Amino acid sequence: MPMTKENQNEISKPKKHWTMALVESMKDAELIYKDTERIVIIRDKYPKAKIHLLVLPKDNINSIYKLTSKDVALLEEFGEIFKLIQKEHKNHLLNAGFHAVPSMQRLHMHIISKDMVSPCLKTKVHWNSFTTALFKPYNDVLAELKQYGAIKEIAHDIYKTLKTTPLKCNQCSYIPKNIPQLKEHLLSHL
Ligand code: AMP
Ligand code: ZN
């Protein structure tokens, strides 16, 4: 492409890979919910529940698998933020945790309300990524980091099994036949 005044920005700024989108969103004033010296909290762009926020470090830590003992204080700050956000949303029960197999770069903790009512929740993988062991609760990750100084990766066959776990309501024993039936049922818990 020849360089012209109109396209020089496009040429000089190559498009970032989609897995880097959270790092871009950390600078997006419309998505930023709060920030501190070390952390940015953004609204998830495709929320899977009524409340869905992401907590990210400003430091370039790629995922939970890059955490070391030196990061315990940072992770404890994630916990303080979770407590604060739970206080701000007294009418919603919130969960905090990390995906065992994240798709996006930069460490991010999900803070997500238990309702799981959202038009963006569309697939079994979406559901299972928050309601099975694919979702590693914040307290477990903190305890593992304190004990071992690192987080152990999940085995690939376990990941595959968890992704295809049969659907089950996260708030009662209801077993839906499919996602539309599950979504309809979730409304009864509101
Ligand atoms: P994970 O599977 O843990 O990597 O989750 C990534 C999360 O980022 C998902 O909940 C997505 O809905 C969310 N997401 C994807 N793209 C963006 C974006 N550009 N800005 C904010 N959140 C995003
Ligand atoms: Zn139910």
Does some domain include residue 134?
yes
Measured between alpha carbons, how far is 2 from 59 in angstroms, rounded to an integer? 37
Number of compact structural domains in the chain? 1
Residue 105 lies in a domain: yes
Structural domain boundaries, residue 79: 13-189
Ligand closest to 182 (CA) is: 2
**Helices 72-88, 138-148: crossing angle, 10 deg rounding:** 160
The string of pLDDT tens digits covering residues 76-130 is 999 999 999 999 999 999 999 999 999 999 999 999 999 999 999 999 999 999 9
Answer whether 0.85 is exceeded by the pTM: yes
Q: Is 106 within 8 Å of 67 (Cβ atoms)?
A: no
Asked if residue 164 belongs to a domain, the reply is yes
52 catalytic? Reply is: no
Ligand 2 is an ion; its neighbours by CB within 5 Å are 169, 171-172, 174
